[in-house]
Amino acid sequence: MKPVILFDLDGTVIDSTEAILDGFRVTFETFGGKVPSDEAIKNEVGHTLEDMFLTLGVARDKVDEHVHCYKMHYRIISCEKTVLLDGAKEAIEEASTFATLGVVTTKTGEYSRILLEHMGLMHYFSVLIGREDVQNPKPHKEPILKALEKLEHDRSRTWMIGDTCMDIESAKNAEVHSIAVTSGYGSLEVLQKCATLITSNVYEAVKHIKKSD
């Protein structure tokens, strides 16, 4: 049985910062709100859109309409304003030679598939779990367990790669291995509080898994 490697997307495989910031800017402007700073928005990446808007000051009863507006704009601009992180394509290609691959993300699954297809990578993944596929997003264990339900797997040979403590905590809660990467939104200082294995990018993470399996 092959090992399983589950990948987060934002900050791990892709850099969609420009698209995310543009989506929030347009949304806040649409509803006449003050646009948060780029740093404030980036600090929330990895959480659900609902939680992001709440943290950024949107009233709870206005969150759904803000999320809808964001999604309508994001789906138009996402492919144009998203790029692969350095080494991500090589990491996925290398991982596919010895492991079964999946995506576990808090992004909308529909848009995640569109992005990965646009980048020519979706065919490497046997499963993709997005926000709409679970009731409890990361750091809950549900997204990882939902992915594993669809794969032949050995929990002791399953890995989650992500750039935030939510990814690492989700892996711990699901009782699988994890590697944090510093290529995304979690700083080294923050990641050191939750992760025991940290690499600079997803390619280094895949090399570590291949060597240790």
Residues 6+ apart with CB under 8 A from 133: 109, 143, 146
Residues 6+ apart with CB under 8 A from 24: 35, 36, 41, 52, 56, 70
**Whether 22 is catalytic:** no
Q: Give me the catalytic one of 8, 10, 15, 167.
A: 8
The SS3 call for residue 102 is strand
The SS3 call for residue 81 is coil
Query: What is 26-61 written as a DSSP string?
Result: HHHHHTTPPPPPHHHHHTTBTB-HHHHHHHTT--GG
CA angle, 63 then 144 then 104, to 5°: 60
Exposed/middle/buried for residue 162 (C-beta within 10 Å: 0-12, 13-18, 19+) = buried
CA–CA gap between residue 56 and residue 89 (Å, rounded): 33
> Which residues form the catalytic set?
8
